Structure 1
Amino acid sequence: MELEVSSPQHLDSSHISIDLFVSKKHIGGGLRFTDASSCLVFQVQKLPSPGSEHRRVLIDAAGNPLICLHHDKDGSWKGYKGNGSEEKDMIFKVWMTVNSFSHKEFKVSIIGDENGSGSDSESGFRMKGSQFHRSFMVYNQNSIVAQSSLMHKLGIGKHFIPRSKFRLTIFPGFKDQAPLIVALTVIFFHGRRLWI
């Protein structure tokens, strides 16, 4: 009797969650997003030029600028491609809709539509959670896109893990939007002590 051997089935990576571990750099400030092997995936830095105290840039592991974040005086945020700051480079706008001590919510508007008209698109993206607890979720319509978890609540041994370090999980189907989700994470936690 001959056994049939089936070819191995490979998992589609679009069906796997991505975990990024977020921490603040002690030298030079900024935030680091690393993978499970502690390899740098993304980094957020303040822009060094004068007049840029309200600007941050998200870069990849190779140092390429992906998204430049501008914090406006009215409390809203704008995200631009690369190091951009011109209207044509704008990717999204974010503004706070709920602001209490224990709870914050933000709405996200993606700029441009499939026709390239440059008008605002109702993306359905929003964020809500608690800055103090390092706990938040990103939604697209009614689907959870990403969420954060404090490391000391994950049962990781008896090691001391500072509250400034936490895990960001990006759920299946949203891997291609990881830079956007990381940028939204930076915006949500901006203003916390020990943050950038």
Structure 2
Amino acid sequence: MASSTYQQQQVGVPAKLPLPLDYTVRKHVFSLSGGDFTVEDAHGNLAFKVRGGSSSYFTGSATKQKQLFVLDASGNPLLSLYQKPGGFDWECCRRNWFGCEELVFRARKRQQASKWVKELEIYLGLESLDPKRCYCTGMSSTPWDMLVKGSPFARSCTIYKGNNILAQSSALHQLGKKVLWRHKFRLTFYCNIDHALVVALVAIFFNGINWK
């Protein structure tokens, strides 16, 4: 059974924060794995880390599949993300009290005609395993629980639940000017949603999906 923290993401819309909450995301340009990020709060304190890696799956021949790990500031693992062959592009899991992994969400890119705007469908919890599922509980007639939409190149994306914006990434501003740094950008929370979950979604959207 999914934990109550993630179960809350599936029912209704999370409450809005009194004020938007900003983080700064920094991508490690010289990372060996190509998937390393750090996330700092408004005071410059480290809040999360994202570390990349790879593992081998036997699919007729040995191939390397990407992995991403969301860690807290002390380096403790919070979420594990695995690139998956086949229908879904990524799966996210967390370890429960018994040391077993629970499915948090599955992610699948949506085929788009637009060259610049990309979309990633998010299916939360164990319900994502049901192939007959065709609606988002209590929200709308859409099959997904969340949608990540934006431009990976510009490090800009918006995370939706129904028509509600939960979080958003954007370019930083310097001296009144918008500065496009692909290795550094802002992540803003508008609702009381699990921050590690959003960090995982952003990491996949910007660094885990082959959008070609």
> What band does the TM-score fall into relative to the shorter chain?
0.7 to 0.9
Q: Which of 58, 72, 77 is 2:90 aligned to?
A: 77
Identity %: 30
CA distance in 2, matches of 1:130, 1:27: 22
Q: How does 1:8-47 map to 2 (within 5 A)?
A: 14-26=17-29, 28=31, 30-47=36-53
> Partner residue of 1:167?
186
In the alignment, the residues of structure 2 paired with residue 150 and residue 16 of structure 1 have an alpha-carbon distance, to the nearest angstrom, of: 19
State the Cα distance separating 1:180 from its structure 2 match.
Answer: 0.8
Asked if structure 1 preserves the Cα contact closer than 8 Å seen for 2:154 and 2:180, the reply is no
Residue in 1 that maps onto 2:74: 62
Query: What secondary structure is seen at the aligned counterpart in 1 of 2:183?
Result: coil
- TM-score normalised by length of structure 2: 0.68
Kept in 2: contact 1:14–1:172 (CA 8 A): yes
In structure 2, what is the Cα distance between the partners aligned to 1:189 and 1:24? 10
Which amino acid is 2:126 matched to?
A: G
Confirm or deny: 8 A CA contact 2:29 2:183 kept in the other structure.
no
Deviation, 1:141, is 1.0
Q: Secondary structure at the match of 1:16?
A: strand
Gaps of at least 5 residues in structure 1 are 1-12
Gaps of 5+ in 2: 1-15, 58-63, 137-143
> By percentage of residues, which structure has more strand?
2
Task: Write out per-residue CA displacement over residues 7-42 of structure 1, whole angstroms, 9 at most, x where no aligned residue.
Answer: xxxxxx942322111111256451011112221101
Q: How far 1:73 sits from its partner (Å)? A: 2.3
User: What is the SS of the residue equivalent to 1:185?
Assistant: helix
Q: How many residues align?
A: 171
Query: Could you say if the C-alpha distance between residues 112 and 46 of structure 1 is closer, same or farther in structure 2, counting changes exceeding 3 Å?
Result: same
The one of 183, 189, 194 aligned to 2:206: 189
Which has the greater radius of gyration?
A: 1
Deviates further, 27-36 or 15-24: 27-36
